[in-house]
Amino acid sequence: MKILIITFTSGNNPGTFMQGLGVQTAMKRLYPTAQIDFLKFPDFKENLGVRDKKAKLWQTFRQKAASAYRLVKYNELRKKEMNFTPTIDLFNYTKEDESVICQYDLVVIGSDTILEEAYGKDGRIGLNWMPLDVRKLYFAASASPANFVPKNELKEVASKAVFIGLRDNLTIDFFANKLGIEKERIFKQTDPSYFLDIKQFKLRKKLTVKLRTDQKYALYNFNSNFPLRRELADAIRNVGYKVVSTAYNPYADICFDMVDAYEWAGVFPLMDVIVTERFHDSVFGLRNCKPVIAIDWDPNRFAKCGDSKTKRIMEDYGLSHLHHNLYNNTDITPVIDSLKNIDQCYDKASLALLNDQIYANANRILENIGTILNNN
């Protein structure tokens, strides 16, 4: 059995790595002896981040140095945990590229926002949607923010999947209402990182000693071009929290900016609250039964109506009141009010119960996928 996974894996984004590892973990459960490869492709997501204009030059250099160091550690993890094909461009592929893909018995598309783009410059449907005549399935795939207009051919391509598993309601709505896929064919799947045992991930003792038991800590992760990064960090401090970041942030009190994905995951159990723009920060915070205040602000990361994968994960946990959108909005008062009243805004026991239900549902869907594949 040869399985090809098409999802994001490159760079030093911990969530990207973890979701890819989660897909592989799920496939290994179905086919323990299978050869599993990841498609290596140029990342089609444009890096829209810019330098923090409020940061000093040495701070920008420090940030880039830490990022480069993390990338080395991530490359080591990828080399250890994943196998890759030769590089194939998703939107500019050749007949030879097609022949490489057609050698696989199963192509797994997802997860992450792998469906965010659909067409190349020449109008061809990208390999991330998989227009080739191969056995394929969508595995917790997302098209968020789904801002492109689909053509009729895209429905034909999507409808040929033996299983359609989508990660968020935004993508489900897109498949059902924009592509016209029958709703009974669509399954909502949780992020594949839920297949990973979070108890295995630990932060080095050398780093944990920086955290005191008598202090409250807020994990605080935002891109450097977030216009309120300094102001919000200061406001969080004023409420009584030490500000912690897992990337270099000159406005944080503690930066674990040289950790790999496994150590990143080990930070969450040590935090009291998560304040973030990052989807997988929200996921791992909630999985650890920590309160999460999730913030959207970048219009490139949510739909025109304000919908986003971050908004939807909070909705799934019944925590929509802890999601805030700060696009063109400098008023952080609602965010800080949420933080001040965080103990009344969420219930740890309810989160634990909901996590158990999510795990059980993820396992049921995986068993269903196994049955479908055995019959097709």
Tell whether 180 and 229 lie within a shared domain: no
Reported as type and span, the H/E element at residue 283 is: helix 279-287
Tell whether 190 and 48 lie within a shared domain: yes
Beta sheet of 163-166, edge-to-edge order: 84-87, 35-40, 2-6, 106-109, 136-141, 163-166, 186-188
Alpha-carbon gap, residue 77 to 260, rounded angstroms: 8
Tell whether 371 and 317 lie within a shared domain: no
Alpha-carbon gap, residue 201 to 206, rounded angstroms: 15
Tell whether 112 and 215 lie within a shared domain: no
Tell whether 102 and 210 lie within a shared domain: no
Output the tens digit of pLDDT for each of the chain's 376 residues. Answer: 999 999 999 999 999 999 999 999 999 999 999 999 999 999 876 554 455 666 677 677 788 888 899 999 999 999 999 999 999 999 999 999 999 999 999 999 998 889 999 999 999 999 999 999 999 999 999 998 888 889 899 999 999 999 999 998 889 999 999 999 999 999 999 999 999 999 999 999 999 999 999 999 999 999 999 999 999 999 999 999 999 999 999 999 999 999 999 999 999 999 999 999 999 999 999 999 999 999 999 988 877 677 888 898 999 999 999 999 999 999 999 999 999 999 999 999 999 999 999 999 999 999 999 999 999 7
Number of domains, the chain: 2
User: In a 10 Å sphere around its CB, with 0-12 CB exposed, 13-18 middle and 19+ buried, how is residue 115 labelled?
Assistant: buried
Tell whether 371 and 350 lie within a shared domain: no
Say what the pTM is: 0.92
Tell whether 231 and 345 lie within a shared domain: yes
Domain coverage including residue 190: 2-195+360-375
The CATH code of the domain that includes 271 is 3.40.50.2000
Tell whether 235 and 164 lie within a shared domain: no
Tell whether 230 and 315 lie within a shared domain: yes
The CATH code of the domain that includes 57 is 3.40.50
